[in-house]
Amino acid sequence: MEERNLTIADIAQELGVSKTTVSRAMSGKGRIGEETRKRVQEYVEAHHYSPNVVAKGLAQNKTFNLGLVLPGDYNIVELPFFQKCMMGISRTASAAGYDVLLSMVTADKITQLERAVTNRKIDGVILTRTLTDDAPMRYLQENGVPFVAIGSTEDVRVVQIDNDHRGACRELTGRLLDGGARSLALIGGREEFIVTRNRQRGFEDAFEERPDWNGVRQTFLNVEEGREVEKIVEGLLEERVGCIVCMDDFLCGCVLNALQTRQVAVPGQMQVVSFYDSTVLENRIPAITSIRFDVEELGRKACGLLLQILEGEAVEVRTLLGYEVRMRESTKRSPRPY
Amino acid sequence: MEERNLTIADIAQELGVSKTTVSRAMSGKGRIGEETRKRVQEYVEAHHYSPNVVAKGLAQNKTFNLGLVLPGDYNIVELPFFQKCMMGISRTASAAGYDVLLSMVTADKITQLERAVTNRKIDGVILTRTLTDDAPMRYLQENGVPFVAIGSTEDVRVVQIDNDHRGACRELTGRLLDGGARSLALIGGREEFIVTRNRQRGFEDAFEERPDWNGVRQTFLNVEEGREVEKIVEGLLEERVGCIVCMDDFLCGCVLNALQTRQVAVPGQMQVVSFYDSTVLENRIPAITSIRFDVEELGRKACGLLLQILEGEAVEVRTLLGYEVRMRESTKRSPRPY
DNA sequence: CTGAAAGCGCTTACAG
DNA sequence: CTGAAAGCGCTTACAG
């Protein structure tokens, strides 16, 4: 308890030096005698002194807080993503002496973010996803707040970091085509999420790379509910589509349910893949072919970028992280093709 | 941008009053002339002045930050709970002029929490779950940091708030028994989570209330993986158990998968219920009978309690929130009992 | 009702 | 290499 009230002035007095000296001994800035530094450091350690970061911040016009913007809407499938992101971010921040301040925003309300900025509680911000019409991003730009976006955006002024969703989807789709898929359907979520568009592009890239492929493909976007998926799947079965590509594990789960209800065997009668590998499908049988990203690493790097920016260092505007395609049972070449 | 640099001194000078007066006009503390106050307030609004909360904090020895402790381990089923909690907490905090600082802890590492406390970045803490051997809780107590725990604990000194898991499980189990269940099994997660124990107690309460009930019941705790569930279900089928009670939706999902694989009809041949209603099972067919809590409300109230404590108000040490039992198809009385 | 001054716990030119 | 002093942007006894 007592340590909590120990101040730099106490130490200075105790050691018979000035506050300036103590400050310098701790920060390492400014010239200071080796011996003096040691004396101070020993005292500090012995008494478990730790500086008041808030006061330090006030003097330096910094807060040592990073703002983390999280969507407040509930979408179960994305939750593991955000949690892992948070983990990576908060670890990296912690290691650099920063803490993470939370701002939850919804499509129409970014007041929590505004508060944090207005109250000067943060030095910079990490956005955890990008939208086509991105209110938080706009706000930060207008107010000159440094930030990095997890996700992609065409605005070349924003420092952004993302997994290569397009490349990943291109490769996965390519494998399906090369594996003999003749008719396939893509089911995706909201188009306002830029990641949705990138996945779609990757899907299409694969066809463009194979001009000789002749088959049928169709795309359903902005699909959000299980009911919609149900309808779509029903239609696809009538049209004898043989492969369903889902943009995320929630949609994939719905597709699997719909197929199960209708007694359609996977992969026997229908191949199914997901463009995102969360734990939602973990216990599914058969195991689902999908793409895996290292999300915690994404969080760590995003935070690292922001930290660099805050240090005044120049950073790459665009960072693209890798992916891993995991082929599993749901796309095993079917013994009796549909 | 300019507003961001506006200080109380600027306003004082501009208005020809002292900083003291400006400060008082804003805080409402201390006597001040109605006219002066109005002048200041008008200026403040016109120029979008907003005080530097950090400086204010330094002067008042407060931070206006609340620490939020979240588990860093990944458990998909609990994620919606924590997200909703966060939402409720951050909204309430925001409304009261506080921000939320994140600390992710794991079973063996609470360094992020320690950092936040040591750095004097927070005024109080909210714990989002309780454990039998709770390291974060112990740390906070030892360091005299005010906190409230979401969840229950026997330590009567800690301000705690929880949904009535025990009562909810008692009622749900009771309904199953009254509905004619003759042999049932309880499958639950880690015993170190106090919520697990409370659910188990509620389960047992129901039997004690019905001394005439004669049937078979068994309990499996510390079940964590799909494989384990598989084994258990297999055994239960051999023993002709007719009702499986799952402590959470993850376990329930595993149970359903196992039953499906073995072509066991729900509820026809087996009744299944879950003690926690997340969105994980949302699209399951049949719909699963379970218990529903208002988690965002839980977060709001927890935050409200902490805020009261910080204001020096006395609060109820123990708050118990309600629940809702949702009877669904998975427990419809079977037409041809097993 | 209002203000000058000291203080919150740090940092950092500036001078020595 | 070290220190006195001013400053970060607020609040708050104390005096008037």
B103-144 pLDDT per residue, tens:
999 888 999 999 999 999 999 999 999 999 999 999 999 999
pLDDT of residue A201: 97
For the residues B24-28, what does the mean pLDDT come to?
84
Asked if residue A1 has pLDDT above 60, the reply is no
CB-strand contact B4/D, under 7 Å: no
* Per-residue model confidence (pLDDT) at position A337: 46
pLDDT digits (tens, 9 = 90+) for A191-241: 999 999 999 999 999 999 999 999 999 999 999 888 899 999 999 999 999
Query: Could you name the CATH architecture of A165-292+325-331?
Result: 3-Layer(aba) Sandwich (3.40)
Alpha helices in A135-238 (DSSP H): 135-142, 165-178, 194-208, 226-238
pLDDT at B3: 42
Task: State yes or no: pLDDT of A336 exceeds 60.
Answer: no
Task: Determine whether the interchain pair A119/B101 forms a contact, defined as Cβ–Cβ distance below 8 Å.
Answer: no
Which chain D positions come under 7 Å from a protein C-beta? 1-13
- Residue A318 — pLDDT band, cuts 50, 70, 90? very high
User: What would the 3-class secondary structure string for B14-40 be?
Assistant: HHCCCHHHHHHHHHCCCCCCHHHHHHH
Place of tokens 């891993």: A324
- DSSP class of residue A107 equals T
pLDDT at B278 over 80: no
pLDDT (0 to 100) of residue A76: 62
- In this prediction, residue B332 carries a pLDDT of 84
Q: What number is the average pLDDT over the span A269-281?
A: 83
Going by pLDDT thresholds of 50, 70 and 90, the confidence category of residue B283 is low
For residue B254, the model assigns a pLDDT of: 86
Residue listed under structure tokens 């000067």 = A120
Q: Which of B52-66, B86-100, B232-246, B282-296 has the lowest mean pLDDT?
A: B282-296
Considering chain B, tell me which residue range(s) the CATH 3.40.50.2300 domain(s) occupy: 65-163+295-322, 165-292+325-331
Distance (Å) from the alpha carbon of A20 to chain B's nearest alpha carbon: 20
Residue contacts between A and B (CB atoms, under 8 Å): 139
pLDDT at A283: 65
Of chain B residues 108-167, which have a beta carbon within 7 Å of strand D? none
Please state whether B224 falls in left (phi above 0), alpha (psi between -120 and 50) or beta: alpha
Residue B336 has pLDDT above 60, yes or no: no
Domain A3-60 part of CATH 3.20.20.70: no
pTM of the model: 0.91
Which fold does the domain A65-163+295-322 belong to in CATH? Rossmann fold (3.40.50)
CA atoms within 13 A on the CB side of A69: 32
Place of tokens 């930060």: A140
How far apart CA A262 and CA A256 sit, in angstroms, is 10
- On chain B, the residues whose CB falls within 8 A of the CB of A94 are 111-112, 115
pLDDT at A335 exceeding the cut of 70: no
Find and give the residue nearest to D2, measured CA to C1'.
A21
Task: Please judge whether B283 and A226 are an interchain contact, meaning their C-beta atoms are less than 8 angstroms apart.
Answer: yes
One-character DSSP codes across A233-269: HHHHHHTT--EEEESSHHHHHHHHHHHHHTT--TTTT
Tokens of B233: 């279900």
CA atoms within 13 A on the CB side of A284: 29
In chain A, CATH 1.10.260.40 covers: 3-60
Model confidence pLDDT, tens digit, residues A165-174: 999 999 999 9
- Can you state the angle between helices A34-46 and A8-15, rounded to 10 degrees? 120
pLDDT of residue B338: 43
- In DSSP terms, which residues pair with A321 in a beta bridge? A163
Angle between helices A19-27 and A34-46 (to 10 degrees): 90
Q: What share of chain A is helix, strand, coil (3-state, %, to 5)?
A: 45, 20, 35
Residue A27 CB closer than 7 angstroms to strand D? Answer: no
A chain contacts of residue B99, beta-carbon cutoff 8 Å:
101-102, 115-116, 119, 121
Amino acid in the structure at residue A195: V
Average pLDDT of chain A is 90
Name the nucleotide nearest A58; use CA and C1': D8
Q: How many CA atoms lie within 13 A of A111 on its CB side?
A: 10
Rg (CA), chain A: 26
Task: Please list every residue in chain B whose beta carbon sits closer than 8 Å to the beta carbon of residue A111.
Answer: 94
